[in-house]
Amino acid sequence: MLSLIRSLARSPIIGGMIIALLIAAFALWGVNDIFRNNSNAAIVVGPETVSASELARTYERQLFQIQRDNPEITREQADEMGLGDSVVQRLIAETAVDAKADQMGLSISDNTLFETLRSIAAFQNPFTSQFDPGTYASVLRENGYGGPLAERQFEADITSELRRGQFVSAALGGVYAPEIFGEIRAAYNGERRSLRALFLQPSLVDTPEAPDDDTLTAFINENARIFERPEQRRLTLMRVSPTDFLRDVEVSDEDLQALYDFRLENGDLAEPATRSLTQWPAPDQQTAEAAAARLSAGETVSTIVTELSLGEEVALADVQSYQVPDSQIADRAFTMAAGDIAAVQSQLGWRVVRIDAATDPDTPELSELEAELRDELARDNAEGMMLDALGVFEEARGNGATLEEAAMQAGLIAERIDFVAANGYSADREPALTLLQNPDLLTAAFSAQQGFATDLESYGEDGGYFVVRVDEIEPARLSELSEVREDAAQFWMVRETDDRLQTLVDDAQARLEAGETLDAIAESLGTGARVETAVLGRGETAGPFSAQLVGQAFRLPEGQRFAARAGNQTTRAIVLVDDVISVDPAQAERPSQQELTNELRNDATQIVTSALINAYEVRTDQTLIDQALGRTQLQ
């Protein structure tokens, strides 16, 4: 990354960004402790606190990971699905455990943390299988840990997780599932239900006539949440990533060789060479050479040491070159093979050196790594070119140029994006792919004020940057009939048909209560009504017997009946649980005791955590929580 560092140093935007980050961090959270700030506590559990900044970071990482796999999900949608509240509850539970761990005096040593990090395969160099700082930093970025404090934040999180693990092990290490649990689970899993159901299809009712405008207008008003036209924004966007500059990059063979040599010298391409060696001080060159010759001939060490007045031996085991105190001895030793003996002039005089063991791992040739290294260099050079262009862009903006003018001066592109909603789609359901593929851009666009371009921000996994300006905002409103006539009419028809079918279900239920059979009712209703049977286990389905329907059946005893939706959910069903078929636990397949023990410990962990939460006073500041989750703007 040397070229990237040089680019960072010469790009005028970077200095200002770093200073701004530091000022913002210190101004918002203070310099005493960025990770816990009692004066900014969003959550208090007994003696422990969770600051608004910590809550925000945790939420952002969870949201980042969700949007990485599901880019169409917006921040608002994630919060509506309960992500924010889930993060708050998880932090309350973890903080309760932290408080108890503090009380018990549990701690994690730096060595334990270091060994844990070293053992995580994702952080290891693929060539050496050793912990690699560059890979470590990259993986953290990919999982939502960004900024200059990313490693410190992650290591603080890992330390907390390890300490909670200590507490759980101490509290629940002796919990084991008894044998009878296996029998109970086998009986539960093996149980089956014999079901008989009357299925009623929508074709049994008359097709409703098309609704008039008054009916549709009333229907739209009654279902305002469904027919609301969300806020729409028209945007101007400048975005750029190193990929945009790759076509202009040429990597020289000299740079390729230099990077290979740098990696080789730093041990990034293979395990480092090691030597185990023994050395004896000698008074002069002649004595050292004589001793080396006699040792090579097989004479005993003690005889030679006594007769030639050699000094006390010094042994080093499995050391790398830099670990040999004398560089001249190191240089010579690492050209020698196991069993070699030589007289070596060191910085402190002559020495007799014997190589007791040597390892020289195979190192891939430049030709084997050329494509990978060339791509890396091209990427670094492209990053430098991008940063230079952004420097011109920011300088132009600082001199009063508009977003479009600054982009033109820097050779960048300003995109116009017509009205789009926060979900990344226009009112006509056309996707804004640029925004859908990059959720950070969409979030920024719907957080910005109209008429003002945002500051330069990073986005994506490729190290890109963007600036967005909101040019116009169309507020949310209820859709006009003319805008949703077709959808509203179709929805009304489905709803009306379903209401009519519900009347048929109610009538069939009444006839069953009066003593009629399912078969008699089906025959009287004709085509569209039928009776089917099935014998199913938990989680099994068959034809119109959907998972939801079967799940309802397993909550009822033999002889009970219930109404449900079936098939594609437009078909209705009246279901009778004819028989509950038990299984002989001795004949059923049992889960392993370890699996049951793990489940029991997980359940016990939840119970213990709930007890801890109840044992401590829990206080929350909803205003700070809403601000941390992005529900309200900081004042």
pLDDT tens-digit profile of 66-96?
Answer: 887 787 787 888 888 888 888 888 888 888 8
Q: What is the 3-state secondary structure (H, E, C) of 438-492?
A: CHHHHHHHCCCCECCECCCEEECCCCEEEEEEEEEEECCEECCHHHHHHHHHHHH
Distance of CA 80 to the CA centre of its chain: 20
- Per the CB < 8 A criterion, the answer to whether 299 and 291 are in contact is no
Which residue do the tokens 């006073």 mark? 617
Identity at 437, one-letter amino acid code: Q
**Do 627 and 634 form a contact (C-beta atoms < 8 A)?**
yes
On the question of pLDDT at 182 being above 50, the answer is yes
How far apart are alpha carbons 470 and 462 in whole angstroms? 24
The CA–CA distances, whole Å, from 557 to 62, 97, 506, 516, 537 equal: 41, 41, 22, 21, 14
Beta strands in 201-273 (DSSP E): 228-229, 232-240
| Contact by Cβ (8 Å): 280, 313 | yes
Residue 3 has pLDDT above 60, yes or no: no
What pLDDT, on the 0 to 100 scale, is given for residue 555?
92
Residue 258 token pair: 């230099």
> Is residue 156 exposed (0-12), middle (13-18) or buried (19+ Cβ within 10 Å)?
middle
Who wins on pLDDT, 564 or 20? Answer: 564
pLDDT band at 423 (very low <50, low <70, confident <90, very high): confident
Whole-angstrom Cα distance, residue 290 to residue 280?
Answer: 13
Share of the chain above pLDDT 70, in %: 88
pLDDT band at 470 (very low <50, low <70, confident <90, very high): very high
Q: Is the pLDDT of residue 575 over 60?
A: yes
Structural tokens at position 510: 């009444």
**Does the model's pTM come out above 0.75?**
no
Provide the CB-side half-sphere exposure for 150 (13 A, CA).
16
Q: Which of 126-140, 189-203, 480-494 has the lowest mean pLDDT?
A: 126-140
Q: Is the pLDDT of residue 18 over 70?
A: no
| pLDDT tens readout for residues 343-356 | 999 988 999 999 99
Residues 125-180 have pLDDT tens digits of 776 677 877 777 777 777 767 655 667 778 878 887 787 777 777 666 666 677 67
For the ranges 37-46, 226-235, 450-459, 585-594, the lowest mean pLDDT is seen at 585-594
Over residues 293-301, the mean pLDDT reads 91
pLDDT at residue 28 tops 50: no
- The answer on pLDDT for 503 being more than 90 is yes
Task: Give dist(CA 223, CA 286) in Å, integer.
Answer: 102
* 50-59, 497-506, 599-608, range with greatest mean pLDDT: 497-506
Among 34-38, 128-132, 365-369, 473-477, which is the least confidently predicted range? 34-38
